[in-house]
Amino acid sequence: MTGTAVASLAPQSGHLKRRAILNRVVLAACYAAAAVVVLPLALILWHLIVMGASGLSLSFFLNMPKPVGELGGGMANAIVGTLILVGLGALVAVPIGVAAGIYLAESGRNQFASVVRYTAELLSGVPSIVVGVATYGLLVIPMGGFSALAGGVALSILMLPTIIRSTEEVVRLVPQSYREAALALGAPRWKVTQQVVVPAARAGIVTASMLAVARAAGETAPLLFTALGNRFWSVALTKPIASLPVFIFDYARAPYDDWNRQAWTGALVLVLLVTLISALLRLTVRRVATR
């Protein structure tokens, strides 16, 4: 360790001593910074469990929300609503995103591809609230009202850049020799991509897309003016639909202790949902990959 080597010379000169001390201080500060960064995660998880776990019960998942003043009730409609919204979003974003990602990976040095890549990166930086406002103008107004469909489209816009980018990365990882071997056997380019490259990258593509999808499950802002929210049971795609994040938002701000408790439970369920989807997918993907 260089720090100690310098420190052992320290008595010889004040300058060296100062540098040795500074070295210690800087390195210690880096350790401390890492600890401080990890601390909030630990605290958030701790509070989620402490505040949210007590409300976890079967009825939370199976019951509908109760009217103000009545204790209890659950978020069955919000959980189903979130699954529908995320499913809709994935239905739109996954095919487009995966196709675009494959295009970017296989098109080589190409002006159009690099512009698309840059646009996708810009899109990933667009605030989700702006996506919500734009979707409101593009879908909610023409359709004549808030709807699950509009919410699903808003979520799909948020999923798109992540899916494109990770698909491109995964497809690029397929060894060049696969493509060369297939081309040498006389296969046309599209068959090489479709029947050799994509199957080799399939496991990675699935994980990457599902991670993007899971991430979108926690989005709130784009749903506020698209899917809106709904206190009642509704699975109609053309009607407003409840979602877990919007429920948490409403319940956390409400002046009722019971609702606040349910907001914590909802937050715990949301975090579990997001991480559970990813974890399950990683497992199934591993099984497919090893087959």
Partner 1 sequence: MRAARISGDAIYRSVLGGAAAMVFLVVALIAYESVRGAGLSLRAFGLGFLTSTDWDPVAQKFGALPYVYGTLVSSAIALVLALPLGIGSAVYLAELAPRRVGSIVSFVIELLAAIPSIVYGVWGFFVLAPFLRTWIEPWLIAHLGFLPLFRGFPFGIGMLNAGIILSVMVVPTIVSISREVLLSTPRSLREAALALGATRSEAIGVALDAAKPGILGAVILALGRALGETMAVTMVIGNTNRISPSLLDPGASMASIIANEFTEATSPLYISALIEIALVLFAITIVVNGAARALVHWTTGGRRPAAAGV
CA 205 to chain CA mean position, Å: 15
Tell me how far apart the 2 most distant CA atoms of the chain are, in Å.
81
Residue 272 within binding range of partner 1, rule CB under 8 A: no
263 binds partner 1 (CB under 8 A): yes
Min separation Cβ 22 and partner 1, Å: 7
Query: Does residue 201 interact with partner 1 by CB under 8 A?
Result: no
Query: Cα(166)–Cα(235) distance, rounded to whole angstroms?
Result: 31
End-to-end CA distance of the chain: 46
Residues in 118-137 at the binding interface with partner 1, rule: CB under 8 A = 118-131, 133-134, 136-137
Type of residue at 48: L
Q: Going residue by residue from 68 to 107, which x/- string records binding to partner 1, judged by CB under 8 A?
A: ---------------------------xxx-xx-xxx-xx
Q: Should residue 276 be labelled a site residue for partner 1 when binding is judged by CB under 8 A? A: no
Of 253 and 286, which CB lies nearer to partner 1 in the complex structure? 253
Phi-psi region of 57 (alpha: psi -120 to 50; beta: other; left: phi over 0): beta
d(C-alpha 61, C-alpha 218), whole Å: 17
271 contributes a contact to partner 1 by CB under 8 A: yes
Based on the shown chain and the rule CB under 8 A, indicate whether residue 250 belongs to the binding site for partner 1: no
| 8 Å CB contact between 224 and 135 | no
Segment near partner 1 (CB under 8 A), from 63-71, 220-228, 231-239, 283-291? 220-228
Q: Which two tokens stand for residue 290?
A: 């090893």
CB of 1 to partner 1, least distance (A): 7
Q: Is 260 in the site for partner 1 (CB under 8 A)?
A: yes
